[in-house]
Amino acid sequence: MTAKSKLVQGTLEMLVLRVLSRGDLHGWGITQKLEQLSKNALRVEEGSLYPALYRMEARGWLKSEWRITENNQRGKYYSLTRTGRKQLEAEKESWNKMTAIIALVMEPQ
């Protein structure tokens, strides 16, 4: 397996929200989607993912539901709540601001 980048601290929640904004997924699906979207550059550790999912659920950003998966197993699907959607917007915005600032600092014109 190729060496994968470590996640920047605090971005996991934003990424999960982003992934779920395109459709409901179970935990396994989230890791797959993240790897797929990052073209295999990102590898999410389960040890961080599940506590993060529960935390976000407790905060009301996500809600969960047991459903039958495409290959007929029971899986726990997470979906965004309205608060979660708002949170995603907020995080996206602050992320954009932050990267712009970092870019300014790193490559002053």
Partner 1 sequence: MEALRHLLFRLRAVFQRNRLEREMAEEMRFHLARRAAEHVIDGMPPDEARNAAQRAFGGVEQIKERARDQHRIFWLEDFVRNLRIAFRQLIKSPGFTLLAVITLGLGIGANTAMFSVLNSVMLKPLPYPDSAQLDRIFRTTAQNTEGGVSPADFFDLRRESDRYGEVAACAFTDASLSEPGHPAEMAFGVRATANFFSTLRVQPQLGRDFRQGEELRGNDRVVIISQRLWQNRFGGKVDIIGRIIRIDGIPHEIVGVLPDSFNEWRHLGWVDLFRPLGLDNEKSTDRRAAMLQLIGRRAGQVSRTEASNFIAQFGARLAKNFPDANTGSTWRTVSLNETVEGRRGGTPAIFAMLIGLSGFVLLIACSNLANLFLARTIARAREFAVRAALGASRSQLLRPLLAESLLLALAGGGFAILIAHWIGDWFSARASAGTGLPVTVVFDGHVFGWALAAALVTALIFDIAPALFALRLDVNETLKSGARGSTGGRGHQRFRHGLIIGQFAFAMVLLAGAALFIRGVYELNNTRAGWKSDHLVSGTILLSPATYANAAEMTTFRRLALERLEALPGVTSASISWRLPYFVWRDTRKIAVEGRIPPQRGLEPAAVVNGVTSRYFETVGTRVLAGRAFDSRDTATSPRVFIINQTMARGLFGNENPIEQRLVEIDGDTRVSGEIVGVVSDLQSVLPDIVPVAFQLYQPLAQEPRAYTQIAVHTSATTAPATILAGVRAAMMELDPDLPIRRLQTAEDSIASSNFQLDVLRDVLSCLAALGLGLAALGIYGIIARTMAQRTGEFAVRLALGAGIGNITRMVLITGVKLALVGAALGLAGAFGVSKLIAAGYPGIHATSVPILIGTTGLLIGIALLACWLPARRAGKVDVIVALRAE
Q: Which of 14, 21, 38, 76 binds partner 1 (CB under 8 A)?
A: 76
Q: Does 79 bind partner 1 (CB under 8 A)?
A: no
Q: Does 3 bind partner 1 (CB under 8 A)?
A: no
Smallest gap from Cβ 93 to partner 1, in A, equals: 20
Burial profile 15-51: b = 16 or more Cβ within 10 angstroms, e = fewer: bbbbbbeeeebbbebbbebbeeeeeeebbbeeeebee
Q: Specify the stretch interacting with partner 1 by CB under 8 A; choose among 3-11, 17-25, 27-35, 94-102.
A: 27-35
> Is 33 a residue that touches partner 1 (CB under 8 A)?
no
